Amino acid sequence: MENSGLFFNLVPLIVFLPTVGLLINIIFGGRMSEKAIGTVASAASGLAFIVSLLLGYSLLASGSEAHVVPFAEWIKIGNLDIPWNFRVDTLSVTMMLVVSGVGTLIHIYAIGYMHEDVRFKDDVKRYGRFFVFLNLFIAMMMILVSGDSYLMLFVGWEGVGLCSFLLIGFWFEMDTLARPSWANSNAAKKAFIANRVGDFGFLLAAFTMFWYFGSLQFSEVFLKAEEVAASQPGVIMVITLFMLIGVTGKSAQIPLYVWLPDAMAGPTPVSALIHAATMVTAGVYLVTRSWALFSLVPDAQYVVALVGAITALFAATIAVGQYDIKKVLAYSTISQLGFMVAAVGMGAYVAGMFHLIAHAFFKALLFLSAGSIILGMERGHHHLANHGHADEHHEEVFDPGDMRNMGGLRKQMPVTFWLYMIGSLALAGIFPFAGFWSKDEILLDAAKNYSVVYVLLTIAAFLTAFYMGRQIWMVFFGKSRHAAAEHAQESPKVITVPLMVLAGASILGGALNLPYLHSLGQWLEHTIELAAEHGEEIRGYLSISWGGLNPVVALVSTLLALLAIGLSWLLYGRKPLQVGQIDPLKKMLGPLYTAFEKKYWVDEIYGALIINRYVDLARFLAEKVDWNFWHDWLHDSVIARFFRWFTKFLANPIDLGIIDAISNGLATLTKRSSTALRQLQNGFVRSYALSVLLGAVLILGYLLFK
């Protein structure tokens, strides 16, 4: 064994440690304290992180070549053989590290966050359930990134979708303001159904792949890719475009992005872990993993890049017009995912992965800080309620996430303020935070080959800096616009410490892949360029992610970001928003801003075009087809009436007329014949003797004269 002393065989633990954690919490959670539940779940995730680190070390020590660790036989039918293998290569280990690392921090944060959340929402018993779901998510995400075949990836893909559904609908019987409503469960369903549409694309891609490649294993598919591309040029195109549908679902790209903003109904740690840092990047991972297919079809790549770039810009404009602190971040996430998808679409896989990692750090940081702010506002609100302010009674339902209620929070929540600043600067792409390096690399790649994508992404980056600036000014500066904000309180250490770790990562994350050093690039090269030796052309595509630091691109994006922040200061910082004041941007942009604010009415358009039509169809099917046709006409009129007629027919003519007649006839016949025959038995022995004689005479006569 050349791998002796290395840790490749530990890889199943990344799935099974979280599974053990969730089992402990399912079975014993009811009798455990909140701290114990949280510790078990965090430890399960943390141990998975340590295993991921060991795997990373093993890869480094053994030359970074991919290792496949067979684990179990899964599907074996005829010549279809899909085992459950774990694939340990630089790409999957990178994802494992991000998932378990950020995941562990969010688990720890959730110990504090859920402690308060279950009390604000008045159901303490639900605490354990949250960590069960969270552990399940980590396990599923690990299956997704460690799978050795598209089918195994799909298992994880569906599994994280399920966890997303469960966690968005965690408070399923209330809306985000804890009023009784089905809003949260509707958001969960929306996410699940939008993802279903994408999964359908993924499945079609997998079926097509199996039809033409005869396999779903990564290694076999990638080996045959060029051969198939040469003989049937359309096939790879079809596979990659179907895959793109899956990506638009999971990674929230146009046209399926609509679920992600609603997914903010879930508790904030969920928004951070699933809907910002990890699950939504599964699409980016999928494209990166399938680089060997995408690199063969530049047209499909261009479509992917365009979808990403358009989404990036589109979502960024919507983020400008939002008032809910989490909604802004949600649209920002869609926009940043657009950056990543655009990057992997351009073939800049390393840049895409780099941005994925950096984004996981700073967006998790932002979401968790937003959660801290929301909790702070809730605390302020409860403080007021407990101290019996007279105006409290006839006040409308208080929304702790509405930025129009905030203001001046930097005094009440100084730690969260600084953490949020770091996250925002990283997201805005200010030197030297992680976002600067990763976004710049994407812009650089775009500038070289794809000018349209470059322009779109640059505008999106400008808007990113603008809406983050707007958010900072609205939340932390000026004066409190609501009494709750005045009394907001800082969060405890269990919440702020994980945030500090993430903040550190957001500051230093850029060091992963500095220009000219390309440590991440060289690390991922082992996976992504492995098959690229087959053709120089593919290498040509990949090489665009190997640029240095283009001073013009970097300068332009930095200047635009600074300009955007300055602009946001002019609008929101110089004269802070007053209570009830209309957003100053609305006065300037008018209807355009309304379009931003209303999210371009996309939900309404989808509602009118698809959902209502679907409901109409369902109603038509239910009322006309099912009830009127199927039930009233077919069942009641046709089948029941025929049945009644038929049973009557069977009862009267058949049963009475034939069956009964046969048995009655037999009885009558027997009776009559016996009446006739008993005349023969007259009791006179002599007459019997006569019959014997006559019989004997007859037989003799027959024998004699025959």
Residues that bind another protein (CB under 8 A): 677-686, 689-690, 693
CA distance 326 to 521: 33
Compare residues 552 and 680 and give the one whose CB is closer to another protein.
680
| CB 680, min distance to another protein, A | 7
Contacts of 703 (CB under 8 A, 6+ apart): none
CA distance 386 to 178: 18
Compare residues 493 and 671 and give the one whose CB is closer to another protein.
671
Compare residues 610 and 689 and give the one whose CB is closer to another protein.
689
CA angle (469 as vertex; 335, 370 as ends), nearest 5: 75
Compare residues 35 and 672 and give the one whose CB is closer to another protein.
672
Whether residue 205 contacts residue 221, with contact meaning beta carbons closer than 8 Å, is answered with no
Sign of the alpha-carbon dihedral angle for 433, 438, 439, 443: positive
Nearest to 568 by CA among 635, 660, 470, 666: 470
Compare residues 621 and 689 and give the one whose CB is closer to another protein.
689
Phi, psi of 541 (to 5 degrees): -65, -40
Phi, psi of 79 (to 5 degrees): -90, 5
Within 10 angstroms of residue 426's Cβ, the number of other Cβ atoms is 32
| CB 689, min distance to another protein, A | 5
Chain-centroid distance, C-alpha 249: 8
CA distance 506 to 366: 10
| CB 667, min distance to another protein, A | 19
| CB 643, min distance to another protein, A | 51
Compare residues 125 and 686 and give the one whose CB is closer to another protein.
686
Concatenating the DSSP letter of every residue in 95-112 gives HHHHHHHHHHHHHHHHHH
Whether residue 345 contacts residue 302, with contact meaning beta carbons closer than 8 Å, is answered with yes
Whether residue 256 contacts residue 161, with contact meaning beta carbons closer than 8 Å, is answered with no
Cα separation values, 78 from 70, 73, 148, Å: 20, 14, 20
| CB 700, min distance to another protein, A | 12
Compare residues 31 and 678 and give the one whose CB is closer to another protein.
678
Identify any residues that bridge with 82 across adjacent strands, giving them in sequence order.
Answer: 75
Compare residues 663 and 675 and give the one whose CB is closer to another protein.
675
CA angle (363 as vertex; 357, 366 as ends), nearest 5: 150
CA distance 95 to 91: 6
Contacts of 586 (CB under 8 A, 6+ apart): 593, 594, 597
Compare residues 612 and 682 and give the one whose CB is closer to another protein.
682
Chain-centroid distance, C-alpha 569: 36
- The 8 Å CB, 24+ separation contacts for 494-497 are 494/108, 494/109, 494/111, 494/112, 495/109, 495/112, 495/113, 495/368, 495/371, 495/372, 495/375, 496/372, 496/415, 496/416, 496/419, 497/108
Compare residues 678 and 706 and give the one whose CB is closer to another protein.
678
Whether residue 464 contacts residue 568, with contact meaning beta carbons closer than 8 Å, is answered with no
| CB 697, min distance to another protein, A | 10
Q: For residue 285, give both structure tokens.
A: 């991972």
Compare residues 661 and 669 and give the one whose CB is closer to another protein.
669
Identify any residues that bridge with 86 across adjacent strands, giving them in sequence order.
Answer: 69, 147
Amino acid at 681: Q
What spatial distance separates the first Cα and last Cα of the chain, rounded to whole Å? 104
Chain-centroid distance, C-alpha 18: 18
| CB 673, min distance to another protein, A | 13
CA distance 382 to 387: 8
Contacts of 227 (CB under 8 A, 6+ apart): none
| CB 684, min distance to another protein, A | 6
Concatenating the DSSP letter of every residue in 237-273 gives HHHHHHHHHHHHHHTT-TTTTTHHHHGGGS-HHHHHI
Compare residues 33 and 679 and give the one whose CB is closer to another protein.
679
Compare residues 393 and 686 and give the one whose CB is closer to another protein.
686
Nearest to 423 by CA among 475, 459, 458: 475
Compare residues 642 and 688 and give the one whose CB is closer to another protein.
688
Compare residues 386 and 679 and give the one whose CB is closer to another protein.
679
| CB 692, min distance to another protein, A | 10
| CB 706, min distance to another protein, A | 21
Compare residues 650 and 690 and give the one whose CB is closer to another protein.
690
Nearest to 557 by CA among 468, 438, 473, 471: 438
